[in-house]
Structure 1
Amino acid sequence: MTAQIAWNHLTGTATVTDNTGSFRYNAWSFAARNAEGLPEQNGVIQGTPGTLLLTGAGAGTYDACPVYNIANFMPNGATLGNLTTTRNVLTVVSCNQDLRQDYVLHLTKLQFTVWNSFESSFTGAYICVDSVHSVALGAGNSYLVNGSNFDFSTLRTQNARFQVSGVRSTQCKNSKDSALLGVLA
């Protein structure tokens, strides 16, 4: 396997598609780190080939993944002129993925706190997921506990925001804390 180097000039986008539509977003990027935790010099061999340690913990690692993600959204059922939001979908990827053929499954509990525009908080929404998952946010998703926390009928404001974390929980068997990358559509 070829050695990994500390810097490249690659760029990328991802396109998420399902039977109702598609959207494109820019790639997340992670800098290689040296023993002091600073960005490594260009061209320095970095880490073990095939393993990207997204911990930010020094030599051989890359920037840490976010412990939580925050997103602003228009609640399901909210209107803007003659437009109405029908659904919001969050796609998450945990930062402890095993991409080998004989992979190790990584489960986590996505735990949400939602705030309306008056800063009233709504807690208790969660779903148990694998390391890559798309979650329809709202009461229509029977797997999402307290999914109505994402709906206009609960929030009563035209915009809102949420914070999501991947946490270990007895509510989700074999789950572990997991840093996440997320995209909301």
Structure 2
Amino acid sequence: MPGLAGIEHIAVTVPDLEEAVDFFTDVLGCERLYDMGRFADPDGTWMADNLDVHPRAEIDNFAVLRCANAANLELFQYRAPDQITRWPRMSDHGGTHIAFYVEDMDAALAHLVAHGVRVLGEGKKDAIGPEKGEDATFAHFLTPWGQLLEFVSYPYGRAHADDRTRRAWRPDAS
């Protein structure tokens, strides 16, 4: 792709924008940069033509957050006549999760627990396969509205990097 430089943002539609912003800022430490406000095209087809949503869909507001040294995060709150309100599971088409790199998995998970966040499974798990490495771990957790998120940590690298010149992104990589 000519000119591709990287991922600039990830966008997620949430049921309650302020609840989501509060979670990402108060619990995960992201920074709210700005809001874009309401957008709708009550008589036209802009929403269908440009976003492939119902033409009467409305964006109540959306906020742009910065989460440490990573891509920006856009949080949208929509209303639409044909809106599906059940959060997709990872096994559903369109199922997604966002993974955040943390330097200290134990401290990060303790922080989540202190904030009443539901950590899934047994919490910290050892990485497997090409993601293995000394102290390489991961853990999944849920936001208050049911979105799956993940923490990953691999302070000494991952197995896949042993024989490659191009490695997966991580915060301290050059």
* TM-score (structure 2 length as normaliser): 0.28
The answer to which structure has the higher helix fraction is 2
Higher RCO (CA < 8 A, seq sep 6+): 1
* TM-score (structure 1 length as normaliser): 0.27
The answer to which structure has the higher strand fraction is 1
